[in-house]
Chain A
Amino acid sequence: MATFFGEVVVAPSRAGVDDDEEAREETPEDREIRRELEKKREIDILWTLKSGASTESSADELFACSQFIVAIGRNAAAFLSSFILDSVCWEVVGVVKLWNEWCRTTSTTNVLPTDSFCLFYRLISDPTVLLCQCSCYVAEDQQFQWLEKVFGCMQKEGLQVTVLSTCPVADYKTQESTLTLPSPFLKALKTKEFKEQVCCPLLEQPNIVRDLPAA
């Protein structure tokens, strides 16, 4: 592409198409580096069982779960901390350990609000109600893994999932300008299996949700 001054530059494509990827053939060293990086980016979920002992998540025992509430992002996580969670009614039952270029979480369950963490809580009076606070950023290549590993531990029969998340108002597409919109405001997406009343309007096209909440 030629710019105003006559210089020719490679124009970045909105479609996210990257020519470098297809040009390079993978050498054995590249493959080894890629495998090491993939291992480093693996997600580990550590569940605290009834006995109090921590163990790696395994496929044998599925959680009986009727309600699963997931808060993704700092704002949603803070909402749960402020209005729902307390040490009397809820107990920590799991933690996600992950690393990516943006953040690292640890296996400690004693976290500060400013930390990046991903914790699971259970309602003591009804152990089938599970809650997840995920304030860390889960990268694109880790989202599917997170999904499979978390939901892989749950019985999915009769399970209702609620995902809480936030997006900048400036990203909202509407006929008017977003400056005049009364914010913050709520929008929802629901599957056709969700039969209950939704507490706010549905998200209109062309707005979409992406990343972990979408997954």
Chain B
Amino acid sequence: MFVPCECGGGSAGSDFKGFTLLVPAVSVGNVGQLAIDLVISTLGMTKVGYFYTDCLVPMVGNNPYATAEENSMELSINAEVYSLPSKKLVVLQIRSPFIKNKYRPFCQTLLSWVKSSKCARVILLSSSHAYQCNDEQLLGTPLRYLLTPDLEKAVGGLMQELNWKEMEKVAAYPGINDTEKVLHIPGGGITKLLFTESCSKEIQMAVLLKFCSEGDNIPDAFALADYLNEWLQLVQSEVSASNNSTDASSQWKIPSSWRLLFGNGLPPALF
């Protein structure tokens, strides 16, 4: 499924042993994908290959991270892999929805690629419908995390230090039996499947998600990228002088493809 490409720096290569893999879930508001766009664009990551897959709707366009005329002509497709060896980071960006009944095979292939490429851990960026929040979830932070048992051993303590909130389980049969709890991530796309499969395959995976709704999801993407940054420290967080809080938002670079997200200019004849 993974096809390495000859483009980009020779040192980038396709050796991901020990790397951290970032993957977005195609989920409500496309927040995971937008956050990944911010990471790739800000860190200037190099494309090292793509996934040749029949599981995603085909699409193609010119370089979405173009900064000038010269680098704007590289084709870009629906599932591409970028890497930054200096931070041992490899990122998969997914740009189109799953074809019906194909999300399961995609998850299987993705997880076997994770194992064969010997990535140290996977971080899945996702989101969930805000309207499904219960009363406690409506208060406080809308950001949550999940860790597979194998990753819990490695970084569980760090999550405590960061004061992060673990995603709550909900009753399997609400109102009837409140003791049996299950993981429920409405609007999360393949998040739950990837997470449960990773648990059983002993893959070190973390899920970082944000409760949100459809609309202008750019602020949600920034929030999720900042959340990720608290852990991975990918960009410098500026200490804001006014309220003494660390906020990396201003450090993320919006890619040129985010132009015109909400439509074209208006016809002058309208006025």
Contact = CB atoms under 8 A, between A and B. Distances in A.
Interface of A: 1-2, 8, 11, 13-17, 19, 21-22, 34, 140-141, 143-145, 172-180, 189-192, 202-212, 214-215
B61 A175 contact: no
Given A21-B103, A178-B264, A15 B59 contact: no
Contacts of B96: 210
Interface of B: 7, 26-30, 54, 57-64, 66, 72-75, 77-78, 96-103, 129, 131, 186-189, 192-193, 213-214, 256-261, 263-269
B259 A206 contact: yes
Contacts of B266: 177
B30 A192 contact: no
Instruction: Tell me the dominant secondary structure on chain B's binding face.
Output: loop
A204 B62 contact: yes
A191 B101 contact: no
Q: Which 6 A-B residue pairs are closest in the complex by CB-CB distance? A: A16-B97, A144-B54, A208-B61, A177-B267, A215-B58, A214-B58
Given A13-B28, A19-B186, A177-B266, A208 B60 contact: yes
Contact of B259 (A13, A205, A214): A205
Contacts of B74: 192
Nearest to B263: A173
A209 B58 CA distance: 8
A21 B267 CA distance: 41
Contacts of A214: 58-60, 77-78
A206 B258 contact: yes
A140 to B, nearest CB: 5
A19 B213 CA distance: 15
Contacts of B57: 140, 210-211
Nearest to A192: B74
A210 B95 CA distance: 11
A160 to B, nearest CB: 16
Given A174-B264, A206-B257, 4 more contacts: A11-B129, A22-B192, A190-B75, A202-B62
A204 B256 CA distance: 10
A19 B103 CA distance: 12
A14 B58 contact: no
A173 B257 CA distance: 11
Contact of A206 (B26, B64, B75): B64
Given A180-B267, A205-B72, A206-B258, A15 B60 contact: no
Given A140-B57, A214-B58, A174 B260 contact: yes
B214 A14 contact: yes
